[in-house]
Structure 1
């Protein structure tokens, strides 16, 4: 059967053309009916104002699934991976409408790219028309893309833990931030994790941002033995991992209000701390339920820009708590003070010098 003719979605004063509007993007589940491409575009239009609060003026990578998402599909691991069903689009594709703006960013490799920089909700609906389900904004804004204004604490449940464990740690994180005079804002990840955001003054580097996350994670692990900052999976155990490396340059996490490539079209949903504590299953927050949730409760992040905090209390934790530098992701160049990039179980002490350099035979 032939696809329906193209549809349009009206976003403020723009009309965004949606081709193959009846294409099924998410198959039906016990919680949700089948969801079409047109419904995805209409969803992003319905939360357009909230999305702009979360990622407006930010360099934003698009996680695209051009044929929709199905169980068993795989996200490509990089530009050379041609077998993935979905992929990250960091450079804006040619042919974008004039209202879809960009900003240039620099990667750790030194290369640059002109990345999507949303300035109005229609740009995000256009991205959805191009198959984008998840938006991955940088923690910076145009025009200063080298000084983050957002600290992101990614609470990542490890095997043997669940969302309830993440809730417990998130509540502890809220209390510790308050002790330090800092206000945090929370959201579900759209899976089992929880993300906590802090608006900060844009005068620190990405390296400082990462160190602040490490320091905070170490304090949490002192307060709760179910928390870890161990980079190597074999050392994490059944604990909540504070993924500090998500604060590196060109490291992003799913934005607020993004869909996730998982069954039932779950949404990474901002909420108040009281609402988060009451969640029993984060899958309840999905494309079919979130618009009504927003209409009833509003945007829990609407006050995030009211105050920008200093990183100094968290950097002091980095300076004073023991542990030193931790590993960077494998695609980063070797960084000053970084430990050897070898699994602890495979490391032989006599193969490494005191500075973490491998001793050649």
Structure 2
């Protein structure tokens, strides 16, 4: 017996498209009874601000063939049978390998992604026209055990001031979970590694001002009950849930842009697939003008150079990266035997 299938009419820049949706009644969020069809209706409702934040850039799709309680995997390159209105761009990964990566440019493409069982959308920080140079500086404020969202809020406000001193205007969103994402639109004049260094410079300055509240320590054993400033989210091919992306959590929360004025009173659990469309309809998109005035990271890079001259060097990269110049040893501090390492972090 053929599986149930419906067809959705999706308006777009080139007129209406008919997009098939198989198994529309499959329950993706068991605790709430949210179905694949409801998810498709959600992405249609938020498609405008969703595409403004996540469209026209490489994107990875986090796909759940059954439900959020089942197995998942990531899709980066276009699978066989991808329709022509779903675009792709060739990107360079950290290994030097080059490969086509998906690009979403219209509402039908987002609905197609839902048809492919996508729940979480992970966009790059660069646009398809220039994938090597980010248009966003991204900082992830990640609460560690013993801390929560409310602890990340004052760190976010302090980070905003740090970035303002560097000539950048910051925008903020919930992560859809416990953290806060702080973004700055920037001119695409620096490649990923330089933007990462700018993020580290801002993170170190924030850490100086709030040493008991935030940390840049990559190793979990050194973080304590502080907010971790995850500088490695600024790397090439490292992504976080995009604005208005659902999260694969039991409460069906959404990574949601908010204003700085409302941040103190925000309950991130209140932003869900079922509530965000109404929020957009009543209050509009807080990130509506996000890309209007991009800044430059020159001052942050000057801070990076200043810190280098004061003895603060490179920080660890994720384990899947090749060994990077100046990187400290990739070994947990409690397990590091100094006799096995040179002063510049190379194994003897």
The two structures share one fold, judged by TM-score above 0.5:
yes
Which residue is 2:344 aligned to?
Answer: 355
Instruction: Answer yes or no: is the 8 Å Cα contact 1:246–1:252 preserved in 2.
Output: yes
Once the two structures are TM-superposed, the CA of residue 259 in structure 1 deviates from its matched residue by 0.4
1:10-29 superposed Cα distances (whole Å, 9 cap, x missing partner): 3432221111110001012x
Instruction: Answer yes or no: is the 8 Å Cα contact 1:9–1:18 preserved in 2.
Output: no
Matches of 1:199 and 1:301 in 2, distance apart?
Answer: 11
Which residue is 1:268 aligned to?
Answer: 255
1:243 pairs with one of 230, 244, 267:
230
Q: Residue 89 and residue 5 in structure 1: after superposition, are their counterparts in 2 closer, same or farther (change >3 A)?
A: closer
DSSP 3-state at the match of 2:94: coil
1:105-162 superposed Cα distances (whole Å, 9 cap, x missing partner): 1111121221111111210111011101111111111221111111101001111110
Once the two structures are TM-superposed, the CA of residue 2 in structure 1 deviates from its matched residue by 8.6
Which residue is 1:294 aligned to?
Answer: 280
Work out whether 1:221 is the aligned partner of 2:210: no
Once the two structures are TM-superposed, the CA of residue 176 in structure 1 deviates from its matched residue by 2.0
Which residue is 1:306 aligned to?
Answer: 292
1:1-361 pair list within 5 angstroms: 4-12=4-12, 13-28=16-31, 33-70=32-69, 73=70, 85-225=71-211, 226-279=213-266, 281-321=267-307, 322=310, 323-359=312-348
Instruction: Answer yes or no: is the 8 Å Cα contact 1:7–1:21 preserved in 2.
Output: no
Matches of 1:139 and 1:351 in 2, distance apart?
Answer: 38
How many residues align? The count is: 341
Matches of 1:123 and 1:338 in 2, distance apart?
Answer: 39
Matches of 1:162 and 1:45 in 2, distance apart?
Answer: 32
Matches of 1:34 and 1:269 in 2, distance apart?
Answer: 21
Once the two structures are TM-superposed, the CA of residue 7 in structure 1 deviates from its matched residue by 3.9
Matches of 1:245 and 1:294 in 2, distance apart?
Answer: 31
Instruction: Answer yes or no: is the 8 Å Cα contact 1:257–1:268 preserved in 2.
Output: yes
Matches of 2:161 and 2:215 in 1, distance apart?
Answer: 18
Once the two structures are TM-superposed, the CA of residue 9 in structure 1 deviates from its matched residue by 4.5
Instruction: Answer yes or no: is the 8 Å Cα contact 2:89–2:100 preserved in 1.
Output: yes
Matches of 1:25 and 1:206 in 2, distance apart?
Answer: 35
Give the TM-score normalised by structure 2: 0.95
Instruction: Answer yes or no: is the 8 Å Cα contact 1:64–1:134 preserved in 2.
Output: yes
Structure 1 stretches lacking a partner, 5+ long: 74-84
Matches of 1:310 and 1:63 in 2, distance apart?
Answer: 31
Structure 2 stretches lacking a partner, 5+ long: none
1:268-314 superposed Cα distances (whole Å, 9 cap, x missing partner): 001111122211x3111000100000111111111111111010111
